[in-house]
Chains A and B, each alone.
Chain A
Amino acid sequence: MKNKTTRRAALNTVAIAFCALWLFPVYWMVNTAFKPYGDILTTTPRFLPFPLSLDNFRSAIGKPLFGTYLWNSLIVTGVAVVVSLLIAVLAATAVTRFRFAGRRAVLIGILVVQMIPGPALLIPLFLSLKSLGMLNTLVGLCLTYVGFVLPFAIWTLRGFMVGIPVELEEAAMVDGASRATVIRRILLPLITPGIIATSVFAFITAWNDYVYAYVLMKDQSKYTLPVWLGTFSTSTGTDYGGLIAGSALFSAPVIIFFMIIQRRLVAGMTAGAVKG
């Protein structure tokens, strides 16, 4: 029995050490962000941010054009999520509810397209958008994100739709429901988990993207938040307090959101693991 207690204690110690190690960067970000301005650049770091201070957040938000960057990020992400969902639902309906020539080719195409390294398409996208005069436009950036999200979105939604018996919809149509009603009242409610998974993916793709926005948006007033953070270091040196507070502001929505859907996320992965 003693053996078992020691084993348990050892495992718990390892687990605690792992948590400490993995949480450290996040903790350090929060700690730095809330420190008073003068406590940032100290050769002996302070491990608690007391007295709590919002100096760094003020300095980040107070940077010129911060509101514009935030707005650009929100718009691009919002549009990318909504548009890619709409298009993906239509496409997933087509490939799960109809049989037509070329259906298999479409599905294989969607799979293979996911294997193309995204950064490889930067050069042609940049040159094409440039010749169309669409550099520095939010439309061009949105379109790019929608294109990158679509294959995964269609594939995920398809997985959910395949599992829903067509008979359910046919029964409703026999009862006189129109096709639109069937989609709205029967199909959509049943694929809600798929829609959530797809939106999360689309949101993160657009919100987190750095390299596409960095190349396609050269005009400073068109920067998104990550591009702005990437150019934070200036010739006059880096304001680390503001930089880290800005990073924290930028990360907070995603981290909080992941924490909220944590159970669902892990459950979804278990379902995926069983299928795999």
Chain B
Amino acid sequence: MSMVHAKHRTVPSVPPDSSAPRKVRRGRRPSALPYALLVPALLVLALVVGYPLVRLGVISTQGYGLRALFTGRPESVGAANYQELWLNPALVSTLVRTLVFAGSLAAGTLLIGLAVAHLMAAVGPRMRTAVTLSLISAWAMPNVASTLVWQWLFQPTYGVVNWLLTAVGIGDYQQHSWFSDPNEAFAVIWLLVVWQAVPFVALTLYAGISQIPREYYEAAACDGANALQRLRVITFPCLRPILLLVGILSVIWDFNVFNQIWLLTGGGPGDATTTIGIWSFQRAFAAQDYGQGAAIAIASVLLLMTMTGYYVRRLIRAGEAL
């Protein structure tokens, strides 16, 4: 389950290759014990994930508004919620916005992460520890806290960013409000999310780079390869699986960014920072139209599944050896 805060996974969930089960308990009659051991887990998952997912589908076909909330008896409206969604001009712009948002966040995170990973490999051990500690302190901060700190950094009158930009002479930023212009609001959110997402990516990629045998680079240097060629011929091929993994995880996490947007802009100004998740939330909980919100949520599940389908298939194929 990729929750909003899933950025803190410490171990990437890659299936290990050596996972073929041994001939466990061979020669015994099938026992009920494994099922008994699984009961609590399956029960909780059925309650918290399985049932809600089915119910989400059901609600998306219901007129579930304030009245239904009180009576508890929503009426079925068939595909009306989807029809309404399909005809809503905000649909296309929200989808595009979500894709641009997730794409630019993931791209920025990967590029900066890759650069930092290379920097870590190039500097001495003491400087590397300093970089690691800076990364970890950004990573460890709960995102509600970092969002509030961001609010304070970019506060119009007393924020240090406006003061700094003015003092350095970039322009007059006194009393400048960052959240009234769509592009600037987006940029501030982008900075916040990338700041917190880079550590995981940089540390994972650095771990990958540090595993590449030095001999490869020495041999390439002997053959007269320049830095760019070494990057292309050695680093990228060796990092490919890890790059793919952190790339997909970044897309999933950035697609699901919620707290940062909700607390900084609430989706505004206008609907300039309303991604599909924010939109679903607004329709359901602010406008009290749970049916419409559920239809949007279903659309977001399908969109994410399409985007990550390749990766899921790959994982399942790797699971042949489960």
A residues engaging B (CB < 8 A)?
8, 11-12, 14-16, 18-19, 22-23, 25-26, 28-29, 32, 40-45, 86-88, 90-91, 93-101, 103-104, 106-108, 111-128, 130-131, 143-144, 146-152, 154-156, 159, 162-163, 165-166, 197, 200-201, 204-205, 207-211, 215, 226, 229-230, 232, 240, 243-244, 247-248, 250-251, 254-255, 257-259, 262, 265-266, 268-276
A100-B34 in contact (CB<8A) = yes
Chain B residues numbered 209-259 whose CB sits less than 8 Å from any CB in chain A = 210-211, 241-242, 245, 252, 255-256, 258-259
- A to B CB contacts below 8 Å, 5 in the list: A43-B163, A131-B72, A210-B143, A243-B148, A268-B11
In the bound complex, how far is the Cα of B116 from the Cα of A12, in angstroms?
A: 12
A229-B148 in contact (CB<8A) = yes
In the bound complex, how far is the Cα of B123 from the Cα of A163, in angstroms?
A: 35
**In which size bucket is the chain B interface?**
35 or more
- Name the one of B30, B290, B304 contacting A117, with C-beta atoms under 8 angstroms: B304
- Which residues in A have their C-beta under 8 angstroms from that of B116? 18
- Which residues in A have their C-beta under 8 angstroms from that of B133? 259, 262
In the bound complex, how far is the Cα of B161 from the Cα of A43, in angstroms?
A: 11
CB distance from A172 to the nearest CB of B (A): 15
A117-B157 in contact (CB<8A) = no
- Which residues in B have their C-beta under 8 angstroms from that of A124? 51-53, 55-56, 59, 294
Scoring B residues 155 to 178 as 1 if CB is less than 8 Å from chain A, else 0, what string do you get?
101101001000000000010000
Taking the complex as formed, is B144 at the interface, i.e. its CB lies under 8 A from any CB of chain A? Answer: yes
- Name the one of A111, A149, A204 contacting B319, with C-beta atoms under 8 angstroms: A111
A25-B119 in contact (CB<8A) = no
Given A100-B34, A144-B48; A25-B150 close (CB under 8 Å): yes
A151-B319 in contact (CB<8A) = no
Given A19-B130, A205-B3; A121-B145 close (CB under 8 Å): no
| Chain B facing A: main interface SS | helix
B134-A19 in contact (CB<8A) = yes
In the bound complex, how far is the Cα of B135 from the Cα of A19, in angstroms?
A: 8
Given A118-B1, A163-B18, A226-B142; A11-B158 close (CB under 8 Å): no
Number of A-B contacts (CB under 8 A): 367
In the bound complex, how far is the Cα of B259 from the Cα of A230, in angstroms?
A: 9
In the bound complex, how far is the Cα of B312 from the Cα of A42, in angstroms?
A: 52
For the complex of A and B, list the 6 residue pairs with the smallest distance between their C-beta atoms, beginning with the closest: A147-B48, A258-B140, A98-B34, A94-B37, A91-B41, A124-B52
B137-A259 in contact (CB<8A) = yes
- Which residues in A have their C-beta under 8 angstroms from that of B198? 22
A275-B14 in contact (CB<8A) = yes
The stretch from B19-27, B88-96, B103-111, B181-189 touching chain A is B19-27
Given A45-B160, A197-B10, A230-B263; A123-B293 close (CB under 8 Å): yes
B142-A273 in contact (CB<8A) = no
Scoring B residues 118 to 148 as 1 if CB is less than 8 Å from chain A, else 0, what string do you get?
0100111001001111111111111111101
CB distance from B120 to the nearest CB of A (A): 8
B132-A266 in contact (CB<8A) = yes
CB distance from B169 to the nearest CB of A (A): 15
Taking CB as reference atom, which chain B residue is nearest A23?
B134
Taking the complex as formed, is B297 at the interface, i.e. its CB lies under 8 A from any CB of chain A? Answer: yes
- Known A-B contacts: A273-B211, A274-B211. Give 5 more (CB < 8 A): A11-B127, A44-B163, A152-B1, A204-B142, A259-B136
Taking CB as reference atom, which chain A residue is nearest B284?
A123
CB distance from A4 to the nearest CB of B (A): 12
CB distance from A19 to the nearest CB of B (A): 4
- Which residues in A have their C-beta under 8 angstroms from that of B263? 210, 230
